[in-house]
Amino acid sequence: MMDAIPAGRHFVDPAPFEPEAGPEGGAGNASAWRLIARKFLRHRLAVASAVILLLLYAIVPFVELLAPYGQARRNGDFLYAPPQGVHLVHEGGFVGPFVYPYRAHLDLDTFRRDYKVDTAAPQPLRFLCRGDGYDWLGLVHTDLHLVCPPENGTLFLLGTDKLGRDLFSRLIYGARISLTIGLVGVAISFTLGLFFGGIAGYFGGIVDAGVQRLIEVVRSLPELPLWLALSAALPPSWSPLLIFFGITVILGLLDWPGLARAVRGKLLALREEDFVQAAELMGASPARVIGRHLIPNFMSHLIASATLSIPTMILGETALSFLGLGLRPPVTSWGVLLNEAQNLAAVQLYPWLLVPVLPVLVTVLAFNFMGDGLRDAADPYH
């Protein structure tokens, strides 16, 4: 056909006309997700937060490898030992990473243990070494650790608690629980929010009114007293692992109304669009219309709001465990660790017991910044 047009009169581009195509594949023909990614990457703080979170979550499968001690290992001679510094240079000479050993003795006046640093004998750390044994992911039995205390020495990077357990190791073990609980809790509240918001927005009328009232009731309840009541209701006979799941469900149960509201609002607006009518006319079931045609339209918003509610869960778990109604030992979370720092004596005498608040702070902030970035990026056409 093209060849049939007499040459020389007009120039006609033989390629089919595509109004969307910009020069060099610009914004015009990139997919929505690609645009979101592009916009997100420009938000530097959010990207940095995402990287921090990735690193934190990368710890989760390898806690046993990274922790110098096993989580139940007690060092009876070193109760409430202060943090031990890692040094590189001894008497002007480079030795590589080492620690100075502690000499412990009991002060009979105050009944406190004093720890003197013995700077005469540096003890080099060992790397990729044998330590306390563990079952990695329940599959492989091994005793490999990334870093171990020196031979006949100790390595308490963040000090020890009242039973002489290494706080740094427990912090790493706690990361696994504290970081997972947020994700699982959000998964639960996400499901509930999608379901309730979905039916309210799609069906409208009585269903909508009912869900709206339910949302109002749940939202007007102060979270903490309710969390307390629900976790007090968990049977004491449950194993610590079951309690962990119970607490996660409790945290998720009260968090969905915000998400449900967002879903409902979006659905109410989108329901009137032509493509919904088209899908309905072709016989799509409500579940398919909601799940296949409506929700993908605002999935990015949902992910952003879900990200923003993870910190609430992490803080909630911390608060519950702090009050002794949350997770129970031997399950170790950051909240459980903080529970031991509950009294003024800890603040005054053993301030290193407060260190678990730092990872909580970093995680919560990172989720907040990343969530903000995602929310800004969620609507790439704006």
Partner 1 sequence: MIAAILRRIVTMAATLLVISALVFIIIKLPPGDYLTNQILELRATGDASSVAKAQLLVTQYGLDRPIWQQYLMWIGVMPGAGGFSGLLQGDWGWSFEYDKPVADVVGDALWLTLLINLTAVVFVHLVAIPAAIYSATHRNTFGDAVVTLLGYVGLAVPGFLLALILLFYANRWFGLSIGGLYDSALTNRPWTWDKIRSLLGHLIVPTLVIGLGGTAAMIRRMRANLLDELAKPYTVTARAKGLPPLKALLKYPFRMSLNPFVADIGNLLPHLVSGSVLVSLVLSLPTVGPLLLDALRSQDQFMAGFILMFVAALTLVGMLISDLTLVWLDPRIRMGLR
Binding site for partner 1 (CB under 8 A): 213, 216-217, 219-226, 228-230, 232-233, 235, 311, 315, 318-319, 322-323, 325, 338, 341-342, 344, 347-348, 354, 357, 360-361, 364-365, 368
Within the chain, residue ranges assigned H as helices are 32-41, 44-59, 63-66, 167-203, 205-219, 223-232, 240-253, 256-270, 274-281, 286-288, 299-322, 334-339, 344-349, 357-377
By C-beta, is 84 or 178 nearer to partner 1?
A: 178
Closer residue to partner 1 in complex, CB, 60/315: 315
Least distance (Å) from partner 1 to the CB of residue 232?
A: 4
Task: Report the nearest approach of partner 1 to the CB of residue 2 (Å).
Answer: 51
| DSSP track, 262-297 | HHHHHHHHHTTSHHHHHHHHTT--HHHIIIIIIGGG
- 119: helix, strand or coil: coil
Q: How far is the CB of 270 from partner 1 (least distance, A)?
A: 21
Minimum CB distance to partner 1, residue 142 (Å): 35
**Which is closer to partner 1, CB of 78 or CB of 322?**
322
Nearer to partner 1, 164 or 193 (CB): 193
Least separation in angstroms between residue 24's CB and partner 1 is 33
Q: Which two tokens stand for residue 12?
A: 């006609």
Name the minimum Å distance from CB 345 to partner 1.
Answer: 10
First to last CA, the chain: 41
Q: Do residues 346 and 288 make contact, with C-beta atoms less than 8 angstroms apart?
A: no
Q: Which is nearer to partner 1, 197 or 316 (CB)?
A: 316
CA distance 299 to 377: 12
Between 153 and 356, name the residue whose CB sits nearer to partner 1.
Answer: 356
Quote the CA–CA distance of 127 and 148 in Å, as a whole number: 6
